Structure 1
Amino acid sequence: MPKLKLWGGVFLFACIFVSCHSTRKLQETASPAFTVLSPEEQRKYDYFFLEAIRLKIKGESDAAFDLFKHCLAINSYASSALYEIAQCYFLSQQNTLGEESLTKAVTYAPDNYWYSQILVNVYRQQNKKLQAVDLLEAMTARFPNRYEILFELAEIYNLSEEYDKVIDTLNRLEAKTEKTEQLSMEKFRIYLQMNNSSKAFKEIESLTEEYPMDMHYLTLLGDVYLQNKKEKEALETYQKVLSIEPDNYPALFSLANFYKQTGQKENYEELLDSLLYNHKVSGEMKASIMQHFFLEVAEEKQDTVKLITIFDRLLEQNSDDAQIPILYAQYLLSIGKEEQAMPVFETVLQYEPDNTAAHAMLLRYAIRKEDREQIIVICESGIEISPQSPEYYYYLGLAYYQDDRLDDALEVYHKGLANINGNEVKGIISEFYSIIGDIYFQKKQQSDAYMAYDSALVYNPANIGALNNYAYYLSVERRDLDKAEEMSYKTIKKEPQNYTYLDTYAWILFEKGNYTEARIYIDDAIKNGGENSDVIMEHCGDIYYMNSNQDDALKYWLKAKEMGSESKTLEKKIRQQKYIAE
């Protein structure tokens, strides 16, 4: 038997609804003819029902089901218990029993909207269209102000192509509310489905008659004519609008589309130009016009230079509307002109300083270009506008760190920790503390560094960057080497080909005197890219020396020197041809 999937989340909502309202209130909807409980019986019912709800929330479904059954033994007409039992049946895929119990709940509590709505969903899920329609029709009488019932009826009729009933239902809706564009357009669409174009156009015409002074509807009528190849009627309608309101820009835009559709290219382009460069036309309409140009360029594979020229001219108007620069930037990205798009995103921020998408694009581009100055500018303004966004603190701190502005970096990360929600972004908080630890170690504040690493691992015990650096710095100080080995081993288990982590683990083993094992891991580090690191080259020489391989040790020390190593003891190692501890 297929598992029943209830529609639209209504089932879940109703569960919450039932659980959060008293059983007494739910039972008040039932007819008093069914049963009247004594105060003692009502007290027992309430107790067992609430206990069943508690068990259900705990996930003890079987025990909850038994208590709901016990509630029915107290009052066999209790709609609240029947509803919960129906839910239990559905969850255990006993759909027939679930439907029976839910039907009883609706029968005993006909004024509970959610019980009825969920039963409608059950009928629809099981393709029981007639039962769904009958129940919805009954609900229209019981809940006359719930207009969504009629919308759902119209949807069912439409799916079964019963178009006369769709029209009738929409008319019922219109009688309850008012004549609206949404309803008229839907009726227009249905009439066209019925091949009744006369009634279709009459429906839109009736909308203009209902609101004769609203030029929007008259323009809409012209658009409908145009979309359905009635060019003559469309032109007459647009001209009527413009005779009343010569500066009706939506009507002018529609007229431009008329020119395009009828092949009057010169008139089309001239009218669009007059709209685009008119300061009184809204940015929203200009954006719509430019989107039309997008389609033309894409469909006709035209050169994009013309479009870019138009955008540039529009930007020169210095409008205070961000829609055109946003659209322009998106267009430039779509044709691969990322670098050209960045100044346009900066223009967007002049109009909308809090535009997060523009900030994100500029930051991403600056990071990819490794433009630290730009990263700093973007992140500093980003923090002012969005102080709870962790990415600005993260990249600003890194930029300061790389510029050797250690105190500024610390201040940024501490400010970030104070402003962002640690419960939501624990991984990022962990990264902040990890970098703080690195900075403190650079400042030779080892105790503060280790406290920061400990905090990083509290928020994310699997932060392998923190694990590696913590372990390495412990090994540099030759302290807590067992702890360092344990942390470092986690990193190479996670990334067994990461030469940095392999080097750290090898060096810890070296410091512990496990020279043979250290050589295995330092060799792996070299094989996986470590040959490009002067530090790893020197470590390799040290480890080879302690494994009684002085010739290869000297070779690696010389390579480290050639790579520009700043080690304090490297020259002595080479000169004396022996390992010298720092």
Structure 2
Amino acid sequence: MYFNENDTASILAEADRLRESSPSNVEFMVFSGKVYSMFGKREEALKFFDRACELDPSSGLAYYSKAEFYNSVNDSVGYDREVFNALKQNSLDVNTKLSILRGYIQQMYTDSLQRPRIIQLFDTLIVQHPLEHDIHDSYARYLIIARDYAAAAEQEEQTLGLDPADPEGWEMLSSLYLQIDSLDKAEDAIVRSLYYYPDNARQHVVLGSIYTQRKETAKGMEEFRKALSLADKADVELLSSIYTSIGDNMYQQQLSDSSYVYYRKALQYNPGNMLALNNCAYHMAVEGKDLDEALHMIEKVMNEEKDNPTSLDTYAWVLFKRKDYAKAREMIDRTIELTDEADMSADVLEHAGDIYFMDGEPDMAVDFWKRAMKYDPDNELLQRKVRHKTYFFK
């Protein structure tokens, strides 16, 4: 009421009366701190928050309110310290702790130096509440943001162990294993998920793609057929994805004409399917077929994904096959620039060598071929290129 009347003096006096009525009440002390802070009386506010923490050192509310105060005055060190103190207290319920932690992450996650601190906070919560599904799930999602996919998969395993009734969680787990190139674990996660959700068409598609990648094409096709039978016929993006995967499978079987049929079918359902456009363009380039159409496809991809290393590599290879060596070199340079060393492949480096050779840089080409051999030492064509220091047509 006093606030509505803009009567600051009476507001503060009423807070003082409340506190005096019960000097040992932590909640009244915290309330006073918030009121005084609201009117810019920082020194008095901090004294009330300190007093609340003294009255009950186990009060999560007191520490978190103090943390909010430090945050409001842009004291990141104090905020960090008091959030940690708040989350250590058993008096706070799990949902409140998670709310605090999510707010903290939102404030701090862009600073990589804070990651050990955030991980320490999650580890503290897990020790306190080892069987809380939401803590493990939040931890997994944070680790995904931090790009620690292996650790994220470990936490998501814990999450699903506590509550397997989570189709999105199963999809996330299988995706995480694929991110770290663990096909066996991805397959196992999908098989387990299909025990609970046998009609999940998306998981059948991913499982089929795993089999295709292993060159188990018959098993892959079986999964794709299941996916087609389960897919919602109105879900054009899913249908497009399935037909793209069938195209990949057909190409793996060296049935290139059939693969192009399925890629085009995928694009009929979803003309913006970047994966279908990229894969179809790349396979056309490899075979030297329909290079005008391949160029049109990959340029459409580049309009949307100009900094995607996979798409850039395809673009470079289409240009190479069209004998536009200067522009191909520009694109392969960009590909290598954007590719982390851990994600580098023999194919990209071999492409770079071929492009540099045809663009009049044979010494640089040999260097790229040598680098490629570190990733694929048994590649006979690469060995010939390095040994004879020249490009060989396959």
TM-score range, shorter chain: 0.5 to 0.7
Query: What code does the residue aligned with 2:162 have?
Result: I
Q: Match for residue 413 of structure 1?
A: 190
Q: Which position in structure 2 is the counterpart of 1:470? A: 246
**Equivalent residues in 2 for 1:1-150 (5 A)?**
none
| 2:202 equivalent to 1:431 | yes
Q: Does 1:489 align with 2:274?
A: no
Q: Counterpart of 1:311 in structure 2: which amino acid? A: V
Offset at residue 449 of structure 1 (A):
0.7
| Local SS of the residue matching 2:372 | coil
**In 2, Cα distance between equivalents of 1:452 and 1:539:** 35
Aligned to 1:444: 215
1:249–1:405 distance in 2 versus 1, CA, 3 Å: closer
Q: Secondary structure of 1:444's match?
A: coil
**Aligned AA (1:489):** R
CA distance in 2, matches of 1:496, 1:266: 58
Question: Which residue of the partner structure matches residue 397 of structure 1?
Answer: 174
* Gap runs ≥5 in structure 1: 1-187, 196-224, 423-428, 545-553
* 1:564 paired residue number: 372
Query: Offset at 1:413?
Result: 0.3
Distance, in Å, in 1 between the alignment partners of 2:90 and 2:58 is 13
Q: Secondary structure at the match of 2:263?
A: helix
1:310 aligns with 2:310: no
Partner of 2:362: none
2-structure distance, mates of 1:484, 1:308: 55
Task: Determine the structure 1 residue equivalent to 2:343.
Answer: none
SS at match of 1:247: coil
For residues 266 and 41 of structure 2, what CA distance do their matches in structure 1 show?
Answer: 69
SS at match of 2:147: coil
Q: Secondary structure of the equivalent of 2:100?
A: helix
AA of the residue aligned to 1:476: Q
**TM-score normalized with structure 2 length:** 0.63
Q: Which residue of 2 aligns with 1:502?
A: 281
Q: Distance in 2 between matches of 1:233 and 1:376?
A: 52
How far apart in 1 are the matches of 2:384 and 2:53?
A: 75
User: Which is worse superposed, 446-455 or 462-471?
Assistant: 462-471
Q: Offset at 1:229?
A: 1.5
Supply the distance in 2 between the matched residues of 1:264 and 1:385 (Cα, whole angstroms): 47
CA 1:257/1:501 → structure 2, altered by over 3 Å: closer, same or farther? same
Q: With structure 1 as the length reference, what TM-score do the two structures score?
A: 0.45
CA distance in 2, matches of 1:380, 1:386: 10
Q: Contact 1:325–1:347 (CA<8 Å) still a contact in 2?
A: no
For residue 469 of structure 1, report the CA deviation from its aligned partner. 3.2
1:321-343 Cα deviation digits (max 9, x unpaired): 44357425513522554634343
Partner of residue 103 from structure 2, selected from 324, 327, 330: 330
Distance 1:435 1:412, change over 3 A: same
Distance 1:278 1:482 in 2: 78
Task: Note the C-alpha offset of 1:384.
Answer: 1.3
2:332 corresponds to which residue? Answer: none
Find the partner of 1:457 among 199, 211, 228: 228
Amino acid at match of 1:477: Q
Q: Distance in 1 between matches of 2:181 and 2:36?
A: 63
1:44 equivalent in structure 2 = none
SS of alignment partner, residue 564 of structure 1: helix
Alpha-carbon distance between aligned partners in 1 of 2:51 and 2:214, rounded to the nearest angstrom: 64
Give percent identity, aligned residues only.
16
1:43-442 to 2 correspondence within 5 Å?
A: 229=10, 232=13, 235-236=16-17, 238-239=19-20, 241-242=21-22, 246-256=23-33, 268-279=45-56, 282-284=59-61, 286-295=63-72, 297=73, 302-315=74-87, 321-322=93-94, 323=96, 326-334=99-107, 336-337=110-111, 339=115, 340-352=117-129, 358-359=135-136, 361-401=138-178, 403=180, 405-420=182-197, 422=199, 429-442=200-213
Whether the aligned pair in 2 keeps the contact of 1:396 and 1:412 (CA below 8 Å) is yes
Q: Deviations over 1:235-294 (max 9, x none)?
A: 44543x32xxx5333333345557668997655433321312444664345444543444
Counterpart-to-counterpart distance in 2, 1:313 and 1:538: 58
For the residues of structure 1 that align with 2:32 and 2:163, how far apart are their CA atoms?
43
Distance 1:538 1:288, change over 3 A: closer
Question: Per-residue deviation at 1:383?
Answer: 1.2
Cα separation, partners in 2 of 1:248 and 1:367, compared to 1, 3 Å: closer
> Take 2:291 and 2:29, find their aligned partners in 1: how far apart are those partners?
79
Residue 261 of structure 2 aligns with an amino acid whose one-letter code is E
Contact 2:53 2:63 in 1 (8 A): yes
Q: Distance in 1 between matches of 2:380 and 2:241?
A: 27
Q: In the aligned structure 2, how far is the partner of 1:233 from the partner of 1:503?
A: 74
- Structure 1 residues 287 and 420, CA, compared in 2 at 3 Å: closer, same or farther? farther
Distance in 1, matches of 2:159 and 2:136, equals: 7
Q: Which structure's CA Rg is the greater one?
A: 1
Q: Say how many residue pairs are matched.
A: 329
Deviation at 1:303, TM superposition (A): 2.9
- Rounded to whole Å, the distance in 2 between the matches of 1:431 and 1:536 is 31
Is 2:293 the partner of 1:521?
Answer: yes
Query: Aligned partners of 2:369, 2:42: CA distance in 1, in Å?
Result: 72
Over 3 Å counting, the alpha-carbon distance change for 1:536 and 1:285 in structure 2 is same
Q: Structure 1 residues 226 and 501 mapped into 2: Cα distance closer, same or farther (>3 Å)? A: farther
Task: Please give the alpha-carbon distance, in whole angstroms, between the structure 1 residues aligned to 2:39 and 2:248.
Answer: 75
Map 1:567-578 → 2, pairs under 5 A: 570=381
Q: Kindly indicate whether the alpha-carbon contact (under 8 Å) linking 1:467 and 1:488 is maintained by their aligned counterparts in 2.
A: yes
Task: Compute the displacement of 1:436 (Å).
Answer: 0.8
CA–CA separation in structure 1 for the residues paired with 2:191 and 2:104: 39
Please give the alpha-carbon distance, in whole angstroms, between the structure 2 residues aligned to 1:407 and 1:283. Answer: 43
Alpha carbons 1:252, 1:271 under 8 Å: kept? yes
Aligned residue identity for 2:107: S
SS at match of 1:251: helix
> Compared with structure 1, are the counterparts of its residues 485 and 259 closer, same or farther at alpha carbon in structure 2 (3 Å cutoff)?
closer
The residue type equivalent to 2:247 in the other structure is A
The whole-number CA distance in structure 1 between the counterparts of 2:154 and 2:45 is 44
Indicate the SS of the match to 2:75: coil
- Determine helix, strand or coil for the equivalent of 2:10: coil
Write the distance in 1 (CA, Å) between the matches of 2:83 and 2:29. 20
442 and 260 in structure 1: CA distance in 2 versus 1, 3 angstrom threshold: closer
**Cα displacement (A) at 1:317:** 5.5
8 Å CA contact 2:136, 2:158 repeated in 1? no
Corresponding residue of 1:10: none
In the TM superposition, residue 471 of structure 1 has moved relative to its aligned partner by 1.0
Question: How big is each residue's C-alpha offset from its partner over 1:522-558, in whole Å with a ceiling of 9 and x where there is no partner?
Answer: 44567657785499849976x99xxxxxxxxx95696
Contact persistence 1:488–1:504 (CA under 8 A) = no
